[in-house]
Amino acid sequence: MAQSTPTVAARIEFHEDLQRQLEDRATTLRIAREQAHGALLRAERAVSEIDTKLADVDRRARELDETLSAFAATWILASRQLPHTSCLAGTGSSTTSSMRPTFAFPTTYPAFAGAG
């Protein structure tokens, strides 16, 4: 049997087609790389913004904790200085001006440990 060999023109056309395919793939990869780089930059910006916001939330939480601790200390001091009468005792008197607060702070929280 005779084996057919591609003509020179067919070989050239085949190689040109391969070259076009390679160029198309290279272009596709370049575009994908640029898009990935852009997405990475956007993600880094977003992470940076989140980190900044979390730092602000942490700062505000510490400030609130300090404020609550100071309030608790003041509350405890005030409650120890007032005469002991219960707001919930059912006395019926709403004119009692110096009643001891009946709120109990949880002793498991460090700021209230030892509060009585």
Question: Which of the four pLDDT bands, split at 50, 70 and 90, describes residue 116?
Answer: very low
Within a domain: 2: no
90 touches 105 (CB < 8 A): no
Instruction: Please give the tally of structural domains in the chain.
Output: 1
- Residues 10-50: tens digit of each pLDDT: 999 999 999 999 999 999 999 999 999 999 999 999 999 99
Within a domain: 1: no
- Residues 73-86: tens digit of each pLDDT: 898 888 888 766 55
CA pair distance 99, 80, nearest whole angstrom:
11
Highest mean pLDDT among 31-40, 84-93, 95-104: 31-40
**Where do we find the tokens 């309030």?**
71
Stated pTM of the model: 0.47
Rounded mean pLDDT of 93-109?
A: 52
Determine what percent of the chain is predicted with pLDDT higher than 70: 68
* Domain containing residue 26: 8-88+97-112
CA pair distance 27, 39, nearest whole angstrom:
18
**Where do we find the tokens 């370049």?**
30
Determine what percent of the chain is predicted with pLDDT higher than 90: 57
Within a domain: 28: yes
Within a domain: 3: no
Within a domain: 14: yes
